[in-house]
Amino acid sequence: MKTYAFERLYQDKQCWIAPAYVTVDAAGTITAVGSEAPDDGTPVEHHRGLVLPGFQNAHSHAFQYAMAGLAEFATRPDDDFWSWRTAMYDLALRVGPEQLEAIATMLYAEMVRHGYTAVAEFHYLHHDVDGRPYAEPALLSHCLMRAAARAGIHLTLVPMFYRLGGFDQPATAQQRRFLSPDTDAYLDLLAAVHKTAASFAHVTVGAGVHSLRAASRADIQFLLGEADLRGPLHLHIAEQTGEVAACEARWGQRPVAWLLDHVAVDARFHLVHATHVTEAEWRGMVKAGANAVICPSTEGNLGDGFFPIDDYHAAGGAWCIGTDSHVGLSPLEELRWLDYGRRLQRRRRNVMCPDVGADGGVEMVDRAFHGGRAAMGAAAQKGYFAVGTPFDAVLVDSDHPLLAVCEPDRLIATLIYAGDVTFIRTLFQAGTVRVENGRHREADAIRAAFSSALRALNSRGN
């Protein structure tokens, strides 16, 4: 047993404990949290700073980190998601297992440095470069699990079913590493991933369909219904106007409307992007209890559009954030741009405040925390640090000039709207210090392996 002592701990919406003491067991699980030190002789380790819950990154494609910043030149006058996807496919066809592990370890270590303690990996890179299953079917999933363990981040691995190349269209050769020939093959792959995950302490396995365009209607209804899959269910949906138009043309409905009408959507469903939704669709999501996974930096980078976050939030909709293609890795940036994007559309401020007197930063931290935990497959909990859960925390520098003279009820907004990675001093994952003085404890070795992988790929002109 060990007890950590802090200046302040953020336990719930505008609820600070000061001073704060958190006791953890050998596994890093919280056994006590409060404002009084234990009197049982447990050793106390003091840390100066403000403790916040670790952030949840609910959407990641790890291999895409290798191409961050490389698609920012015009290939045609109307560059959009679809032209970016061509560059992504080129990378996907060249990444090997060792390279994937090195890239993912670097990415996850950087996530940790920026304040994330959990990530949901939306994983569809399953097979070898020729499209054949590996002798170890879950090999690339195994690489991601090892990467997360080394970086020190909770991993929810979500292997994706991917069979088609568009609505009722065959897959292309460029997609060969993603494909399952049928639902039985996917379920076999999923079983192999579960078996591999059993040897990792901080891995949860989910399931899902890559997108409506990547599967048949029968596939989707079976996998997201009759198959009774375990864990959280993730899928991309309505990210692009072209996708919406194709769905209407082929299936007679918009994507979210079709899903709500043909699948028993509930709180296990995590709809990634859902950018182009009508009011009826987003209200249907709220009624069903579905969780929207919004990725502002990637959606901005790809020119996707804006999710109606203010109305959805005010209606009580569940949501969380993800970094997707990893052009941005700061949860603070994701949250404020989620807000700023809607401000630009509305041409007014504080759109995330459902009532007069509400605090936009407080609102977003709370909703993103609970929605993020749901996306990870974690149980709902009251407060941010609950007995029986891992001690996952970000220690913020209380001596920063903006925070040192700040009233407690303005600390969260200051961090969200004016903060960056330099505000983060230490990160704990399951009670273990992973980042100290703003630096990951294994930064040098992880970076060396990452650099070697990128040189081997020769994707950055090196």
pLDDT digits (tens, 9 = 90+) for 358-398: 999 999 999 999 999 999 999 999 999 999 999 999 999 99
The pLDDT tens digits for 60-74 are 999 999 999 887 777
For residue range 427-452, what is the model confidence (pLDDT) as tens digits?
999 999 999 999 999 999 999 999 99
Q: Where are the domains of the chain?
A: 2-53+381-444, 55-376
DSSP, collapsed to helix, strand or coil, labels residue 257 as: helix
Number of H helices, E strands in the chain: 15, 20
Section 413-426 average pLDDT: 98
Q: What is the largest CA-CA distance in the chain?
A: 69
Q: For position 79, what pLDDT does the model report? A: 65
pLDDT for the residue numbered 230: 94
CATH number of 55-376: 3.20.20.140
Choosing from 219, 310, 324, 339, the catalytic residue is 324
pLDDT tens-digit readout, 5-41: 999 999 999 999 999 999 999 999 999 999 999 888 8
Categorize the per-residue pLDDT at 82 as very low, low, confident or very high, splitting at 50, 70 and 90: low
Q: What is the pLDDT of residues 301-320, one digit of tens each?
A: 999 999 999 999 999 999 99
Selected from 2.30.40.10, 3.40.605.10, 3.40.50.170, 4.10.95.10, the CATH number assigned to the domain covering 2-53+381-444 reads 2.30.40.10
> What's the pTM value of the predicted model, to 2 decimals?
0.97
**Is-catalytic flag, 123?**
no
Task: Give bridge partners of residue 205 from the DSSP assignment.
Answer: 157
Active-site residue among 154, 234, 273, 440?
Answer: 273
Closest CA to 45 of 382, 393, 405, 388: 393
DSSP assignment string, 420-438: -GGGEEEEEETTEEEEETT
Torsion from C-alpha of 243, 65, 295, 281, nearest 10 degrees: 30
CB 104 within 8 A of CB 157: no
Q: What mean pLDDT is predicted for residues 217-222?
A: 98
Question: Residue 387 corresponds to which tokens in the numbers above?
Answer: 């007995």
Peptide bond into 53 cis (omega under 30): no
Residue 193's closest CA among 153, 147, 136? 136
How confident is the prediction for the chain on average, in pLDDT?
96
273 carries an active-site annotation: yes
State the Cα–Cα distance between residues 17 and 12, nearest whole angstrom.
Answer: 9
Q: How many residues does the chain have?
A: 462
Is residue 250 very low, low, confident or very high in pLDDT (cuts 50, 70, 90)? very high
Rounded CA separation 122/318 (Å): 19
Cβ-proximal residues to 292 (8 Å cutoff; 6+ apart), any chain: 271, 274, 282, 285, 307, 312, 317, 318, 319, 320, 371
